C-alpha cells in the first residue's frame, strides 16, 4: 500500500447533512478498494481563482490515505461521477 494525499473541492452550497454524506461516500470508496483513511482536515470555504461550474467559492478538504496504486484510477473515476465534488487532486505522499 502506498500513501496518498487528496484535496477535494466540494460545492459551496451543500448543507451539513449532504456534506457529511459526501465525506462518508469518499471514505467508503477508499475502504471498498482496500484502502484506509489516515486523516481528514477541513480547510473550509474559500474563494476560487476562477469559476468552476459557475461557482466562485468551494469547500476544501485535505485527506491522507493509504491504498494500492492500482486502485487510484478506479477511485478517481468514482469521484468524477459525484456531482457534489467539483475537483479532486490526488498525489503520492512520500
pLDDT tens for each residue of 30-81: 999 999 999 999 999 999 999 999 999 999 999 999 999 999 999 999 899 9
Q: Coil, strand, or helix at residue 36? A: strand
pLDDT the model gives residue 93: 82
Strands 2-10 and 85-92 come out as antiparallel
- Positive or negative: CA dihedral 37, 42, 45, 49: negative
Is the distance from CB of 87 to CB of 34 less than 8 angstroms? no
Extents of the domains making up the chain: 2-53+66-92
Q: Tell me the pTM.
A: 0.88
Q: Rounded to 5 degrees, what angle do the CA atoms 75, 83, 51 make?
A: 110
Model confidence pLDDT, tens digit, residues 75-93? 999 899 999 999 999 999 8
CATH number belonging to domain 2-53+66-92 = 3.30.70.60
Amino acid at each position: 500500500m502506498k500513501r496518498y494525499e487528496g484535496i477535494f473541492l466540494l460545492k459551496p452550497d451543500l448543507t451539513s447533512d449532504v456534506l457529511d454524506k459526501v465525506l462518508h461516500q469518499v471514505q467508503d470508496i477508499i475502504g471498498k478498494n482496500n484502502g484506509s483513511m489516515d486523516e481528514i482536515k477541513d480547510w473550509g470555504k474559500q474563494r476560487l481563482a476562477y469559476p468552476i461550474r459557475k461557482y466562485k467559492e468551494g469547500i476544501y478538504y485535505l485527506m491522507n490515505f493509504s491504498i494500492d496504486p492500482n486502485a487510484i484510477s478506479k477511485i478517481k473515476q468514482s469521484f468524477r461521477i459525484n456531482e457534489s465534488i467539483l475537483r479532486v487532486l490526488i498525489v503520492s505522499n512520500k
